[in-house]
Amino acid sequence: MSGESEKTLRDTFDEAKKNAPCLLFIDEIDAITPKRESAQREMERRIVAQFLTCMDDLAWEHTEHKPVIVIGATNRPDSLDPALRRAGRFDHEISMGVPDESGRQQILNTLLNKLRLAGPTEEYTAALARATPGYVGADLASLTSAAGVIAVKRIFKGLLSGAFVTSGEAAEAHQGSQSAIQSGSLDNALEQTDPPAGDVEMTPSDEQQEAAPVSDPAPSTTSASYALTTLLSSTPLTPEQLSKLTISLPDFLAALETTQPSATREGFTTRPDVSWADIGALRGIREELEMAVVWPIRRPELFSDLGVGTGGRGVLLWGPPGCGKTLLAKAVAGESGANFISVKGPELLNKSESSARVVNTLLTELDGLTSRGAVYVVGATNRPDMLDPAMCRPGRLDKLLYVDLPSPSERGEIMRALIRGVRLGSTPSVSLDSERDIIVSRIAQLAMDKCDGYSGADLAALVREAAVGALRSVILSGELTKDAPGASQGDNRISVTLHNFEQALSKLGPSVSAIQRKRYEALRVKFAGGRGGGEIKVREEGRAAEVGIGEESGKKAGE
């Protein structure tokens, strides 16, 4: 009915004034006070106007000098009508962001104090706070609930196995049930006493003439498990047994595998499952990233004691395609335990917005990194010469790391990392653990000797092509058919051999040509020299080139 919403608003505020002093809380306030210029219907504009009028009527002289405080909550403050946020209305704004590690520890301390834990609460809160970056209060509450469920399942499993039944009638019941299960008499008895699966007609009584047919479901578990559960449930646990029922740290760690923070569910952030072990090389660059990002996040107090702070910093990774720049960024997030937001450059552009505006906005945001705390920006590009020079000045993406093609020894390390989960063998149908180390060494040596100019992506393609070649040879031999999908499960009939890698090597080649490699080497020197006389330092280990900017490097360039 037209005007009903406005009347409800007026009645609510009138009720608050009658009960003054009063606190009026409105959750999801953006649902009733959107921006009027973008409102789809006239009714929405009228509701906003009525809300503004009701807020103005809460002045001190209109409430008999008794305060009426209105608190609104929203996840979308930018969608509110601007008139609502002026002085005299919602003039105090409090941002409740994602808690940091200290905040998470305080929230966990409150939540875990209500639970029976296997160890000290402080030990649990410290470990869980470090392992839950990006979690908000609701996520942590969900985590504790999930850990409780896992603990209950573990306890029930222990009860069924006799781990918690140690004395008295409960132990006798357990032993008796085990004997019955082993002899098979329990199953026979259950077959005779299992409730019927169909509907059971009930004779209505005088008081329940309209009772509907009901069904008594059959046990969802096996007969033996159902009988054992019935026997154990009839015997209450002793206080001694109850005292052993606690939630352990492994329960929380298992709950972490199934609990997703809200930001991840909404697609904003992820937690990469990538570590340095998945990189396999680039030790020099890894050391630089450790000091630039990982250590400031993991041990911020060390930098604070030195007086340099741990404000956000920008890093630019550049080099030929396929050398692992994106993988490096994910590994940094994985090693530091930080949330990871991946954005591709074209995603920031649209048809109606000029690139100049996007660049200016990005420069402004980069200038605010230090004030935002532990927020780090890692950029990746194949064309550093196309970047706006202002993007790489100190305070923005000021740490430049050149990710070169891997050296022969690094190709061997990368290959070892890539084939870590691949089934290897001397023949397509034989895979022995005893000979795996020998085959791995030969394949790594093959990558070192015959894969000159290959990038990490090229080596990954080589591994896949070798695996497909091994599968193709088995299929062509007639050992596998399309109609028997389960025939190869659980056996070792398919394995990748050194010969498969040699065949794959004859089909593939490096994605970066020799001319392109020379161009990147020239670009590295030219790009470093064109940065205001920046000094270029090349570390042979990891083949990392860092462009350093400073007065000393400028003087050296001018000498």
Q: What per-residue confidence (pLDDT) applies to 556?
A: 37
What per-residue confidence (pLDDT) applies to 182? 46
Measured at the CA of 434, the angle between CA 431 and CA 439, to 5 degrees, comes to 65
Q: What is the pLDDT of residue 206?
A: 43
In sequence order, what are the beta bridge partners of 547?
A: 400, 536
Cα 224 to Cα 186: distance, rounded to the nearest angstrom? 7
Concatenate the DSSP letters of all residues of 491-502 into one string. Answer: -----B-HHHHH
Task: Classify each residue of 347-374 as buried b or exposed e, where b means 16 or more C-beta atoms within 10 Å of its C-beta.
Answer: eeeeeeeeeeeeeeebeeebeebeeeeb
Can you read off the two tokens belonging to residue 301? 């107090």
Contact yes or no for 196/131 (Cβ under 8 A): no
pLDDT at 527: 66
Rg (CA), the chain: 33
**Both tokens of residue 78?**
């930018």
pTM score: 0.59
Given a contact cutoff of 8 angstroms between Cβ atoms, the answer to whether 311 and 391 are in contact is no
List of domains in the chain: 1-72 (3.40.50.300), 101-160+244-264 (1.10.8.60), 276-402 (3.40.50.300), 408-477+495-506 (1.10.8.60)
Q: For residue 141, what pLDDT is reported?
A: 92
Q: Could you count the other beta carbons within 10 Å of the beta carbon of residue 439?
A: 21
Q: What is the pLDDT of residue 107?
A: 93
Distance CA 43, CA 529 (A): 63
Residue 49: alpha-carbon gap to chain centroid: 42
Token pair of 431, please? 């895979």
Residue whose C-alpha is closest to residue 288's, from 403, 391, 393: 403
Six-digit token pair at 34? 């959107």
Mean pLDDT for each consecutive 10-residue tract of the chain (559 residues)? 81 90 92 84 88 88 85 90 88 85 90 87 87 86 92 81 49 46 44 43 41 42 50 63 81 88 69 78 85 84 76 81 87 82 74 70 78 80 82 80 88 89 70 73 91 91 92 79 54 77 90 86 71 38 38 37
